[in-house]
Every structure is written in C-alpha cells, then in structure tokens.
Structure 1
Amino acid sequence: MHDLLSNALEHSTQFSELCSALYEREINLLANTQLNSKEQIQARLKSLNYYVKRTAGSMLAVQSPLLLDLQNASWTEKQSKQLPIKEQTDADIQKWYQSNKLCLGLVVPVLIKDREKSRIMIDCIDRVDEENQRFRTNYCGWFYLNKTPSHQDESYTLLKPSKKVFTAACSGHQWQGNNRTQPLTLPLRELLLSCQINWRNLRLPVSLKSTIFN
C-alpha cells in the first residue's frame, strides 16, 4: 500500500512539473506568435489546458528508451556528429513503405532541410491512397511512393523509421552543415506524436493511454 501511494505521489509531482514547463513554454510561444484575431488567441488558450495535460500524461505513460527531462519537458539523448541518415537510400526508403501495410496514425520521420539547418520532424499518416501509391501526413501533406523526389516541396524528405532517426527527432537534434547545433524545443504536436512511437515495432503505432493526474 505504501509503495502504491509513493508511486502515485511521485507521478503526480512529475506530472505537475511537466505541465508547468509545458505551460511556460507554450505561453511564451503564443506571446511571440502573430495571430490575425483575438478569436484565434482565445481558441489556442481554450485548448491549451487539454493538450498540455494530455502531453504530460503521455510522456509519463509511454515506454520510451529516451531520457525524460522533467524540467524542460523534453526527451534527451546524446547527439550524433552528423545526421543519422547515411544508411538511408531512396530505394530503401521506397521499399520500406511499399512493403509494409501503412495504417492511420503511424508515426513517420521527415527530414527538413533549409539553407541554414537540418532536422528530422515527427509526423504521422492520416490518409492512405493505395490506388495512387501515396499517403498524406498530418503536417507535411502528400508523399508519393512512385516518384523521386516523393514530395512536391523538396525541403521535405521522407525517411525510413529507425531507432536512430526517431531518437534524433524526439530529442530535437539539429545540424548546421556538417556540425551539430543547439537542439530544437519540440512543439506540443510533435511531443504528443513522440509518445505514439512503437519502439518495439516501428511498423505499428501505439494508442495513447494518457493518465491525467489531478
């Protein structure tokens, strides 16, 4: 009985710490975001409580090999010197997605490159069009499996799910040229998706079973 109470108290404290860090981060982000109307700000604020609690509960509930930084509400892991995509060829990536049954909610990594920095984004499949050999992700849009490049925006490159790739994505690792640079703080959307990664079987998503502590 004592162990159960101690465990519940520990998780409740951790939950509160995570929520506090997430609230602070999101409020600062909102304060520096240009929105067109007060209605947009009100809508963001109304939903903030739900998503902060859901994210914090999910981060505590998920079985992840990554270290959880409670103070900063983030995943942490040692960063590689270069992008961990050396083993990923266009043919291998295409083969992985064509040979696996793609299901809704599956978390996928997407390499984002601009002139200054590169990082791996966490996205998820929300529509599959088998007839046209394509699927849509929640943020990046449509990816084609019979074209190279597979996306109309060449700054988006679909990657094959792997532990190395997801570790970099969840930890917000970034590179400037061939050098490591300051990690990015993930938005709530990507933090939530990081909790849907099935580390035991990257071909399947896991359902979020967040525990909300009051």
Structure 2
Amino acid sequence: MTQALLWQDDIEHNDDYAKLCNALYERELATLAQSVNVSVQGLQSRLKSLPYYIKRTADHMTLCDSPLALDVQNGSWTLKQSAKMPDLNKDFAATLRWYSATTLPLGLVIPVQTLQGYELDSIDRVDTDKLRFRTNAHGWFSFSEEQELEPEVNFHLIKPTKRAFMLACAGHRWVNQQKAQPKRLSLRELLLSCNINWKNFKKTAPPIR
C-alpha cells in the first residue's frame, strides 16, 4: 500500500486529497519535532489527534469555495506576491463603521494587519455593552471611535476585504518592506481560510458537509 492510499478511505477523496494530506502530515510532524517544553503526554495527545485534524483540513481545503489556487504539494493557497506590502489600514474610521454596523456572529473570520503582513482570526465573544469583541488569537478589539484597545501592539483591526483575506490565506510576508518567504499557515489558520464567506464577509461560511 502506498502512502497516498492511506488517506483514501472515502470514494469522494481523490488524488489531490491524498497529496494534500501527505503534505500537511509531513509539515506537522516537522513542527512537532521542533517543539520544546512539550511533555511526553502532551506530544502523544497531539500525535493521536493529528490524523483527524489533517483529514478535516484536507476535506475543507479541497471542497470549500475559494478564489485562491490550491497547492496540494505544499498544503497551501497560492497567490502572486507583490514586491511591497500593501497598506489596507488607511481608513480606520471606515473599519470601525463596518464592525459597528454589523451583527457579528460568533465564528466570523476576520483579517488582522501585522507588521509583516496579514493574518486570519475569528470572533469568539462579543461584548455589546462595551462595544468590543474578542478574537481567538489576538484578543480584544474595540469598534468604538472613543476607544482604542492596546494602541501600542504590533497588529491592527482592518476591514474585511477580498484582498486582505487573500493575502492572509496565502501567508504573504514582508520584512523591511521587502518580499519574504510566505508564512506556512497552521492547521487552525487553514481551517479558518475555508470558513470565509467570500460572497458576504458579514456572515460565516455555510457548512461544507
């Protein structure tokens, strides 16, 4: 039995699915091998759950509706990278208006601008009394013009746009305004990339299965 056949346990799964699983599996094993301060029990737990999350990610990446091209050999979305990092945070007032005028559902995927590019995150709590919401990775953001949470941090809330999402999904990075090697998205980030509703950024994506 070849390595690719190990993943083909469903008639709906094609060769691209198997190649994608292999790429994700090899990448995650390399990441785990470089992990530090991880207990044996913790490592065993992560290894045990790895096949489930890899199959789920591969399922979503091969079936979701995305404008980006899928690179099954590397387990990533591909997009031609610009020489300079585009600034998508020019109109912060418009960003605040977008979030304040939107009923934010839990699980909504949003883009965040960092010093080196754009990242995907998702909303896991909304505090309407204090006009703020919390994201899974970057913490609290305010959508009130009278407040600015943590203004000294190296990331900023931006308005969801197709361009911002595509850059985040492709993992494009720039260092000192020069093009750098794209970031390899984690399994969590890859799943988020499959949960973007490209037809309506104010809603979560419909279930794939």
Looking at structure 1, the residues matched to 162 and 201 of structure 2 have their Cα atoms a distance apart, in angstroms, of: 8
Hey, what does 1:60 align to over in structure 2?
A: 62
Percent identical pairs in the alignment equals: 45
Looking at structure 2, the residues matched to 179 and 18 of structure 1 have their Cα atoms a distance apart, in angstroms, of: 30
- Give 1:206's aligned amino acid: A
Looking at structure 1, the residues matched to 75 and 54 of structure 2 have their Cα atoms a distance apart, in angstroms, of: 10
Q: CA deviation at 1:95?
A: 1.0
Query: Cα 1:122–1:36, aligned 2, differ >3 Å: closer, same or farther?
Result: same
Cα shift readout 1:25-84 (whole Å, capped 9, x = no counterpart): 000000001133111111111111111000000001101110000100100011123333
Deviation larger for 171-180 or 85-94: 85-94
Cα shift readout 1:130-189 (whole Å, capped 9, x = no counterpart): 111010111111111225543466112111110111111000000112221111111111
Q: CA deviation at 1:9?
A: 6.6
TM superposition score normalised by structure 1? 0.87
5 Å-filtered alignment, 1:2-81, equals: 11-81=13-83
> SS of 2:14's equivalent?
helix
Query: Cα 1:88–1:196, aligned 2, differ >3 Å: closer, same or farther?
Result: farther
> SS of 1:109's equivalent?
strand
Deviation larger for 134-143 or 74-83: 74-83
Hey, what does 1:168 align to over in structure 2?
A: 167
Hey, what does 1:158 align to over in structure 2?
A: 157
User: Where do 5+ consecutive residues of structure 2 fail to align?
Assistant: 1-9
Query: Cα 1:13–1:91, aligned 2, differ >3 Å: closer, same or farther?
Result: same
Hey, what does 1:126 align to over in structure 2?
A: 124
Query: Cα 1:25–1:58, aligned 2, differ >3 Å: closer, same or farther?
Result: same
- Give 2:141's aligned amino acid: F
Looking at structure 1, the residues matched to 38 and 206 of structure 2 have their Cα atoms a distance apart, in angstroms, of: 35
Looking at structure 1, the residues matched to 91 and 191 of structure 2 have their Cα atoms a distance apart, in angstroms, of: 28
Looking at structure 2, the residues matched to 96 and 88 of structure 1 have their Cα atoms a distance apart, in angstroms, of: 14
Query: Cα 1:84–1:9, aligned 2, differ >3 Å: closer, same or farther?
Result: farther
Hey, what does 2:5 align to over in structure 1?
A: none
Q: Residue 61 of structure 1 contacts residue 209 of structure 1 at CA under 8 Å; is this kept in 2? A: yes
Q: Residue 88 of structure 2 contacts residue 164 of structure 2 at CA under 8 Å; is this kept in 1? A: no
- Give 1:163's aligned amino acid: K
Count of residue pairs the alignment pairs up:
199
Query: Cα 1:53–1:12, aligned 2, differ >3 Å: closer, same or farther?
Result: same
1:137 counterpart (135, 138, 141) = 135
- Give 2:91's aligned amino acid: T
Looking at structure 2, the residues matched to 153 and 186 of structure 1 have their Cα atoms a distance apart, in angstroms, of: 25
Structure number with the bigger relative contact order (C-alpha 8 A, sep ≥ 6) is: 1
Looking at structure 2, the residues matched to 84 and 143 of structure 1 have their Cα atoms a distance apart, in angstroms, of: 22
Query: Cα 1:174–1:28, aligned 2, differ >3 Å: closer, same or farther?
Result: same
> SS of 2:36's equivalent?
coil
Deviation larger for 59-68 or 32-41: 32-41
Q: CA deviation at 1:93?
A: 1.1
Query: Cα 1:83–1:195, aligned 2, differ >3 Å: closer, same or farther?
Result: same
> SS of 1:205's equivalent?
coil
User: Where do 5+ consecutive residues of structure 1 fail to align?
Assistant: 1-7
**Aligned Cα root-mean-square deviation (Å):** 1.8
> SS of 1:33's equivalent?
coil
